[in-house]
Amino acid sequence: MQQVRIGVVGAGVIGATHSAVLQQIAGSLPGQVELVAVADPNPAHLDFFKSVYGYKQTFASAPELLANADINAVFVCTPTCYHAEVVHAAAERRLSIFCEKPLAMDVAQAAAMVQATEQARVATQIGLVLRFSAVFTVLRDLLRDPRAGRPMAVVFRDDQVFPIRGVHDSAWRADRTQTAGGTLIEHGVHDLDLLTWLFGPVQRLRAWERNLAGHPGVEDYVAVELELAAGLRAQLVNVWHNMIQRPSNRRLEIFCDNAFLATEADMSGSITAQFGDGPEEVISESDVLRRFLASQSNAPHALHDVYGVAYLVQDLAFVQALLSGAPPAPSMRVGLDAQRLAAAVYHSARNNVEVEVGDLSSPATG
Ligand SMILES: NC(=O)c1ccc[n+]([C@@H]2O[C@H](COP(=O)([O-])OP(=O)(O)OC[C@H]3O[C@@H](n4cnc5c(N)ncnc54)[C@H](O)[C@@H]3O)[C@@H](O)[C@H]2O)c1
C-alpha cells in the first residue's frame, strides 16, 4: 500500500484519540497517511472531527461512509454492539480494519468476524493498547532478565469510575443491548490479554462477579484467580466504582523467584524493581519512557502527548504494517482469544465452577 487512506466509524472518545495520533503520524509521514472520512450519527461530533482533525468527508452512518469514501483502511470506534456489522461490511469492501476492543458482543459473533476477515484476506488489528504501553513493555523486558527467575505470583487490580459519566460519558455502557457486559469484558479484557502477553496461556480459572450499581447484565466487580500454563498464579480484580474524581488506574505486582516488579501506572509511569538481595529501586517515568522508545524499532518522531504514546505507537504500528505489507499485530484473532478468555471468566462466575481454559476453541457460554 502506497498510502493509507483512513475512514473512522464512531466519532466519540476513542475515535478522537485515534484521530489525534493519526494526525501526528500523517504529519511525520508526509503523503503516506490521509485522514479522509468520518461517520457518526451525531452531527456535532462530525463537525468537531472535520474542524479539529481535518477529515474531508463526513457521513451520518457507516454504510454511507463505506459506500462512498475513497479509503482503504477503517477504524471501528463505535459502541461495541456495532463492531460486527461494520467489520463485515468493511471486509466485503476489502478494507484493512482496525477494530476497537472488545471485538464483539459474544464469542460467536467475534469468531464470525475473524472468519470473514481471514476469508477476505484483509489486514486486521485489535485495539488491545496495553501491548503498546511503556510501563508494561519495560516490565516485560524486566521479566526476561535472567536474574529474575521464574514468575510465581501476580496481583493485578484495575479500577475505573462506572463509565457512564466523566471522561466516558456514554450511556450505552450501562445498556446490555449495546455493551458486551460490564467491567470485565469492556475494560478488563485489556488485563486478560496483558496477562497472556506477559506470561503465556491460561490453563484454568475460577471467577466471581457482583453487580452493585444494578444495571442489568452489566457487572461492576469481577475477581478471577488464574492458573497459567507456565505454572504461576495470577489474581485479577476489576472494579467500576462511583468516584468521579478518581482517574482510571491499574496496580500490578509481580513476584518471581528472585524479583519483585510493580507499577501503579498503565500507560506512562514509574516501575518499582527489586532483584535478589539487592535494594528496591524505582525506575522513573522518564527512564521507563526512554527504555520503551529505545525498544521500538518504529519509534515515533513526534511525542506531543505522553498519555497518548501507547496509542501513537499502536496506530503507527498499524500504519507501518499496511505500508510495508506486513501483517499488523495484535490481529483480530488475538481479540477473539481475549473474548474467549472473558467468556470463560463469566462462565466460571455464573456457574460457580472452575473452568479449564486449555482449549479456547471450545467456547464457554453465558
Ligand atoms: N482501547 C481503548 O483504550 C478504548 C478506550 C475507550 C473505548 N474503547 C472502545 O471503543 C469503542 C467506542 O468507545 P468510546 O469510548 O469512543 O465511546 P463513545 O460513546 O465516546 O463514542 C461512540 C461514538 O460512536 C457513535 N455511534 C453510535 N452508534 C454508531 C453507529 N451505528 N455508527 C457510527 N457511529 C456510531 C456515537 O455517536 C459516538 O460518537 C467501544 O467498543 C469501547 O469499548 C477502547
Per residue in 212-262, pLDDT (tens digit) is 999 999 999 999 999 999 999 999 999 999 999 998 999 999 999 999 999
* Matching residue, cell 473512522: 8
Per-residue pLDDT at 308: 63
Determine whether the shortest distance from the Cβ of 3 to ligand 1 is under 6 A: no
Q: How far is ligand 1, taken at its centre, from the CA of residue 232, in Å? A: 35
Q: Ligand 1, from 8, 14, 187: best to mutate by most atoms within 8 Å of Cβ?
A: 14
Residue 240 buriedness (CB in 10 A; 0-12 / 13-18 / 19+): buried
The CA distance from 134 to 266, in Å, is: 8
Per-residue pLDDT at 243: 96
Domains, in order of start, for the chain: 4-129 (3.40.50.720), 131-298+340-348 (3.30.360.10)
The CA distance from 225 to 219, in Å, is: 17
The DSSP code for 297 is T
Per residue in 171-194, pLDDT (tens digit) is 999 999 999 999 999 999 999 999
Per-residue pLDDT at 365: 38
Determine whether the shortest distance from the Cβ of 330 to ligand 1 is under 6 A: no
The CA distance from 32 to 192, in Å, is: 34
Per-residue pLDDT at 199: 97
Spans of the chain below 70 pLDDT? 297-308, 359-366
Per-residue pLDDT at 366: 36
Neighbours of 95 (CB within 10 A): 25
Nearest CA owner, ligand 1 atom 31 = 82
Per-residue pLDDT at 143: 97
